[in-house]
């Protein structure tokens, strides 16, 4: 497995592969890798001849008061996992390499970036699109794979990037239903026991055992509720007569840790 932290080195290898007619799949990550990330790599392997993974904690998607400084950085373990997974190449750039002209946020995705997670994190999706566009420019992949765990992020990336086929992977969960996340490492033992309630309650909405209002009440027994919304899964707008798929989207705080989760289901179940 090749590991590069500068762009020219990376591009020499990528160009060599492209010259041979090999297709390149790309999986961007912030490290702190778990089975959710590895499942995206498995999809990438099926989609292309070569798999490139980036590990970069992007400063422009974190607000001042957020956890940029404490975000888990586990490069050694990550590289071992990536090697075992059969990844061809890992890109581990510095912030200076990604943003040679400084870290000014120069992307605005507009209203879609201000709803759901954007209410609490108004700059987040602008930062995400900024880094994904920049990484696409550097790597020039044929395909990129993203997780449906970050459903709004996936939707926005599809809308605000071009020239790369975007493929999605389903949410990988712990056996008790908690969606895997690097931030789960922040949970105390007690919090970790409570955390699966999030997915459990969303499941009760899907099965119509709970209405949205009672589900919100249930969630508030365990968490500080950030948002709980049912929207059209294709548009992330209000459900209409034309809605074929529904997205239950939720974010909560458990102590200082913010957890997100979602369930997407076909309308006929409603
Ligand atoms: P992150 O390192 O958190 O930026 O995530 C990198 C990619 O992994 C994103 O496309 C995420 O949506 C995806 N991802 C994170 N957690 C999961 C999960 N539990 N299941 C599937 N994909 C995930």
Instruction: Report pLDDT digits (tens) over 196-254.
Output: 999 999 999 999 999 999 999 999 999 999 999 999 999 999 999 999 999 999 999 99
Q: What is the mean pLDDT of residues 19-38?
A: 98
pLDDT of 269 > 60? The answer is no
Give the closest residue (by CA) to ligand 1 atom 13.
Answer: 147
Q: Answer whether residue 1 shows pLDDT above 80.
A: yes
Residue to mutate, 147, 174, 196, 263, ligand 1, most ligand atoms under 8 Å from C-beta: 147
Q: How far is the CA of 19 from the centre of ligand 1 (A)?
A: 30
Secondary structure of the chain as H, E, C letters: CEEECCHHHHHHHHHHHHHCCCCEEEEEECCCCCHHHHHHHHHHHHHCCEEEEEECCCHHHCCCCCCCCCCCCCHHHHHHHHHHCCCCEEECCCHHHHCCCCCCCCCCCHHHHCCCHHHHCCCHHHHHHHHHHHHHHHHCCCEEEEECCCHHHHHHHHHHCCCCEEEEECCCECCCCCECCHHHHHCCHHHHHHCCHHHHHHHHHHCCCCCHHHHHHHHHHHCEEEEEEEEECCCCCCCCCCCCEEEEEEEEEECCEEEEEEEEEEHHHC
Residues contacting ligand 1 via CB (< 6 Å): 29-30, 36-37, 39-40, 146-147, 149-150, 169, 171-172, 179-182
- What does the pLDDT look like over 75-100, one tens digit per residue? 999 999 999 999 999 999 999 999 99
Q: Mean pLDDT across the stretch 182-207?
A: 98
- Tell the residue nearest (CA) to atom 6 of ligand 1: 29
% of the chain residues with pLDDT over 70: 99
- Chain segment 109-127, per-residue pLDDT in tens: 999 999 999 999 999 999 9
Mean of pLDDT over the chain: 97
Q: What is the pLDDT of residue 268?
A: 76
């Amino acid at each position: 497995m090749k590991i590069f932290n500068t762009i020219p080195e990376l591009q020499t290898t990528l160009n060599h592969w492209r010259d041979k007619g090999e297709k390149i799949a790309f999986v961007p990550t912030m490290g702190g890798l778990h089975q959710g990330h590895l499942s995206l790599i498995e999809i990438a392997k099926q989609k292309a001849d070569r798999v490139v993974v980036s590990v970069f904690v992007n400063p422009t998607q974190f607000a001042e008061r957020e956890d940029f400084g404490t975000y888990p950085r586990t490069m050694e373990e990550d590289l071992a996992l990536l090697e075992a997974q059969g990844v061809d190449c890992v890109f581990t750039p510095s912030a200076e390499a990604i943003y040679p002209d400084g870290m000014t946020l120069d992307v605005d995705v507009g209203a879609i970036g201000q709803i759901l997670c954007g209410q609490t994190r108004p700059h987040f999706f602008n930062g995400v699109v900024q880094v994904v566009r920049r990484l696409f420019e550097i790597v020039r992949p044929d395909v990129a794979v993203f997780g449906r765990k970050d459903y709004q992020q996936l939707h926005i990336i599809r809308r605000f990037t071009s020239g790369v086929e975007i493929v999605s992977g389903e949410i990988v969960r712990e056996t008790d239903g908690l969606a895997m996340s690097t931030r789960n490492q922040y949970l105390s033992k007690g919090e970790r026991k409570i955390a699966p309630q999030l997915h459990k309650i969303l499941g009760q909405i899907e099965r119509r055992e709970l209405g949205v209002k009672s589900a919100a009440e249930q969630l508030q027994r365990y968490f500080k509720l950030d948002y709980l919304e049912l929207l059209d899964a294709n548009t992330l707008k209000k459900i209409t007569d034309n809605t074929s798929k529904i997205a239950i989207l939720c974010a909560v705080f458990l102590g200082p840790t913010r957890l997100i989760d979602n369930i997407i289901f076909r309308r006929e179940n409603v």
